Amino acid sequence: MLGLLSAAAHPLFHYGTHAVLPDDILQTMRMPPAYFVGIWAAIICGLAIFALTRSRKLKPDLMLDVGLIFEVVGAFCIGLIEASTLSMGGHVDGGPSGIALWITLFVLVVPNTLAKTALAALASASMGPIALVVAAYANKQPAPPPFLFLLISIPNLLIAAIAIILSRFVYTLGTDVSRAREMGSYKLVELLGRGGMGEVWRAEHRLLARPAAIKLIQPEMLGGSDSKATTIVKRRFEREAQATAMLSSPHTIDLYDFGVAEDGAFYYVMELLQGVDLQTLVEKYGPVPSDRAGHILRQVCSSLEEAHHSGLVHRDIKPANIYTCRYGLEYDFVKVLDFGIVKSAEDLTGLTKLTNTNVATGTPGFMAPEMALGNDVDGRADIYALGCVAYWLLTGKLVFEEQTFIATILAHAQKAPVPPSKRTELAIPPQIEKLVMWCLEKEPRHRPSSAGEIRRALSQFALADSWTTEKAEKWWKLHMPEKTVAGVEIDLKERGLQANVQQI
């Protein structure tokens, strides 16, 4: 937002001023080159920071540091424009300049540590006199008198100091209010992450010592665009959360509680896991051997089999929603996540459908053809997605790696998939490849009839059984050791929260 503000405000002030001034005055105003350099630099930097923020290519902490650099650069651009105006005979009133407003916006809006905030604010305040020297040199004018440096610097430094002090009160108050929020019997302790659907918090039960993760979802993210739609979504949320809570498969994430917060946000209270999702597993460690893939898929099938039998279709089976973890004394114990926004196979009324007619929902790389075409779906859509997940586990590649969303869903609807054995150097047993290709059939009636059928087929292959407890334990101790030193413990803690964060 600050990037867009910078990119829009500078040309607006320039051309807006020129639009209202008389022509005779405009003819006498010939701005020096440094003036336009400041305007264009501010526009380019603002658009660049906006694009970089939207791309989400940088980690949040690093993005905030880049933002502080942008604060200093933006202050220099403002100083350059103001200094160029002074060189044209502008009046110096000795009050706060545009740099002071810029510092205040950044200090109060962009969160960071006290040290970094103060350093960036003071550096930005010093850009006024620096820009004064640069403008004089660029415009080939004599050096400004010393008193002018003090006249420009002191107000900006005072405003920066005041803004820094105020920011501490604002953020402390916000943190206290956030931590005081309670969801049912749970107290929010720490914000773990934000995403397109909402927030995920670490939480504690007020009476029990059990840790949990709370996922907050705003109604508009689920289709509640107005009061009537929100009421419909709320009813469906309650109905499906109750159905999800009744799922008892050990491979379905446990749902402890659910409800609606005072601000209207829906929330789920879930178990907190230690492990890694399949998306990260393959990205970080590469494709998994067939026996481990069979071990994982068989557990996923157990979760889906119960859900389908209960009339629930997940509709977003993907690697990021499947989590392999250390669960008690077991290793590679699989949990299927995000059963909170499933679709009932039988809606109570047509109004309770969460998605609009003819709108495809789900993740493009794992979307069944019938979903891509906007047709009705049942549990066989999850089976197709499970085939895509198996393909990912075995090859480290998507079934169709197209460039755009539309191209991807059209490929799922029209193109024949390449057998996984042709896209990896790892050995894939023929029976596993045949099962994967069977799940990837375009017509639902040509796929396995149920997740139970896939699970039984995997059991017959005996591959899943060859991934022994000893193998799993050895892998986990090698790649994700349990709390051996402080640094590793912190790393493991971060991984353990990752799946809950990725749900949003």
What pLDDT does 178 receive? 52
- H or E stretch at 345: none
Return d(Cα 346, Cα 240) in angstroms, integer. Answer: 11
Edge-to-edge strand list for the sheet holding 275-277: 275-277, 322-327, 330-336
Q: How many CB atoms lie within 10 A of CB 58?
A: 13
Rounded mean pLDDT, 312-331: 90
**C-alpha angle 186/188/194, rounded to 5°?**
130
What pLDDT does 282 receive? 96
How confident is the prediction for the chain on average, in pLDDT? 78
Catalytic residue positions? 316
Between 154-163, 310-319, 433-442, the lowest mean confidence (pLDDT) is in 154-163
pLDDT digits (tens, 9 = 90+) for 104-153: 888 777 777 778 888 888 888 888 888 777 877 776 777 676 767 777 77
Distance of CA 317 to the CA centre of its chain: 18
Please tell me the total number of residues recorded for the chain in this structure.
Answer: 504
Tell me if 464 sits within 8 A of 295, measured CB to CB.
Answer: yes
What pLDDT does 62 receive? 83
Report which residue type is found at 58. Answer: L
**C-alpha angle 43/49/55, rounded to 5°?**
135
What pLDDT does 95 receive? 57
Instruction: Give burial (CB, 10 Å; 0-12/13-18/19+) of 446.
Output: exposed
* DSSP letter assigned to residue 373: T
Return d(Cα 219, Cα 341) in angstroms, integer. Answer: 12
Distance of CA 128 to the CA centre of its chain: 37
What pLDDT does 344 receive? 55
- CA-closest candidate to residue 194, choices 337, 60, 49, 335: 60
pLDDT digits (tens, 9 = 90+) for 24-46: 555 555 677 777 787 888 889 88
Give me the DSSP letters along 40-72: HHHHHHHHHHHHHHHHT-S-HHHHHHHHHHHHH
What pLDDT does 490 receive? 33
**pLDDT-derived band of residue 300, with 50, 70 and 90 as boundaries?**
very high
pLDDT at 487 over 90: no
Which position has the higher pLDDT, 444 or 134? 444
What pLDDT does 127 receive? 85
pLDDT digits (tens, 9 = 90+) for 199-258: 788 888 878 777 888 888 766 665 555 667 677 777 777 776 777 788 899 999 888 888
pLDDT digits (tens, 9 = 90+) for 33-90: 777 787 888 889 889 988 888 887 887 778 888 888 988 888 888 888 887 776 555 5
pLDDT at 498 over 50: no
List, in order of start, the domains of the chain with CATH numbers.
2-180 (no CATH), 274-502 (1.10.510.10)
Return d(Cα 118, Cα 248) in angstroms, integer. Answer: 52
What pLDDT does 335 receive? 95
Between 22-31, 169-178, 345-354, 479-488, the lowest mean confidence (pLDDT) is in 345-354
Distance of CA 215 to the CA centre of its chain: 13
